Structure 1
Amino acid sequence: MPPDAGQMEDGASQHYRALERLYASAPINDKFASRLEISGEGLSRLTFSITEDVYHAAGAAHGTIYFKMLDDAAFYAANTLATDRFLLTTSFNLHFTKPVRVGEVIAEGRWVSGKRRVFVAESRLIDQEGDEIGRGTGTFMRSRIALSSLDGYSA
C-alpha cells in the first residue's frame, strides 16, 4: 500500500533535509557546536554555542566566529533555491554591533535576490538576550559541484 500524501516529503523538503545533513557532515563543523534548520525556501536558522575557546585577547568571540555564523546562515538560505549545485561565497560584508561572550547565538539567514547564477542573501546574529550582535550580506555563485555528488547531501 503506498504511503499517503501526508507522509511523503515533497522535493523541497527533501532538499532542505539534505542541506541540513550536508552542513552537519562538513569537517569544520566538528569544531563548532552548531545546528542548522531550514524551515522554507530562502530561510535558514543556525544555533551556535559560543565558548571561551573562540575568544580573542580581550575576552569576547573573535570576528572569525561572527563571519562563520553569518556566512553559513546566508549561504544555506541561498542554497535552498539552488537544488542542483553547491554555491560558493564570492563576497561578504560584515557589521559587528555587540561583542558576544559565552552563550547561545542564533544566526538567521534570508535569501534576497537571484535564482540563476548569482544569489544574494543576508543574515543576522541574535544573542541569548535577544539583541542583534551582527549582520551580514553575501553574494554566492553557482559552482560546478553537483550537490548530489557530495556525501553529506546524498546520505
Structure 2
Amino acid sequence: MTQPDATPEASGEAAHFRALESLYAAAPINQLFHSRLEIPAPGVARIHFEIDDRHYHAAGAAHGTSYFKMLDDAAFYAANSLVTDRFLLTTAFNLLLTKPLKAGPVIAEGRWVSGQRRVFVAEARLIDVTGEEAARGTGTFMRSRIPLAGLPGYRSASPEA
C-alpha cells in the first residue's frame, strides 16, 4: 500500500499532525478517557489510553463502547492525517472483539488502507498490556464540509516553527 501523493511538506505535515493531536485533546468526549493521541507518520495514528473499572460492564471487563471509541478514533486520525483542509466523518465501522480488556494500559493503532479523495478506509487494532491484540476494526470515513482550521482545538503551528 502506498501513501497518497498529495501530502504537505515535511514541516507543514508535522504542524498538521500536532494540530490534529491538539484537536483530539480538546474534544469534550476525551475528558472521560485518560488518553493521548500521537501521529508519527502520514496514515498512522496511535492512542495510548488506560482502562480502569469505570469502563467495566457488569461482568468486570471493559464495555464495548471503550473498544469502539478507541478503534474508531485511531482509524479516523490515521485517515485525517492525510487530509489537511477538512474534518472527516465516520460513515461505517466494523468491529471484531477478540479478548476482554481489564485495567491497564492499551494502545489503539490506526493505519490508512485506501482512498485519497472523498472516501478513506482505515483499520485499527487494540493491543493490551501483554502485547496481545484484543480487538480490531475497519472504518470508512468521508470528507465533510467542516474546515479543520475552524474547529476549536485545531491549532496548527507555523511551518517555520
TM-score range relative to shorter protein: over 0.9
Q: Deviations over 1:98-154 (max 9, x none)?
A: 000100000000000011100000000000000000000000000000000012003
Q: In structure 1, what is the equivalent of residue 6 of structure 2?
A: none
Q: In structure 2, what is the equivalent of residue 18 of structure 1?
A: 19
Pair 1:112 & 2:113 matched: yes
- The root-mean-square deviation of aligned C-alpha atoms, in Å, is 0.9
Q: In structure 2, what is the equivalent of residue 84 of structure 1?
A: 85
Q: Deviations over 1:30-49 (max 9, x none)?
A: 00000000001000000010
Pair 1:56 & 2:60 matched: no
Greater than 3 Å deviation, 4+ residue runs? none
Q: Deviations over 1:55-79 (max 9, x none)?
A: 0011000000000010000000000
Q: Deviations over 1:84-109 (max 9, x none)?
A: 00000000000000000100000000
CA distance in 2, matches of 1:149, 1:56: 37
Q: How does 1:4-15 map to 2 (within 5 A)?
A: 10-15=11-16
CA distance in 2, matches of 1:122, 1:83: 20
Pair 1:72 & 2:73 matched: yes
CA distance in 2, matches of 1:130, 1:40: 22
Letter in 2 for 1:143: S
Which sections of structure 2, spanning at least 5 residues, go unmatched? Answer: 1-9, 157-161
Pair 1:100 & 2:101 matched: yes
Letter in 1 for 2:66: I
CA distance in 2, matches of 1:100, 1:51: 9
CA distance in 2, matches of 1:80, 1:53: 30
Which sections of structure 1, spanning at least 5 residues, go unmatched? Answer: 1-8
Letter in 1 for 2:131: G
Q: In structure 2, what is the equivalent of residue 27 of structure 1?
A: 28
Pair 1:143 & 2:139 matched: no
CA distance in 2, matches of 1:151, 1:66: 26
Q: Number of residue pairs matched? A: 147
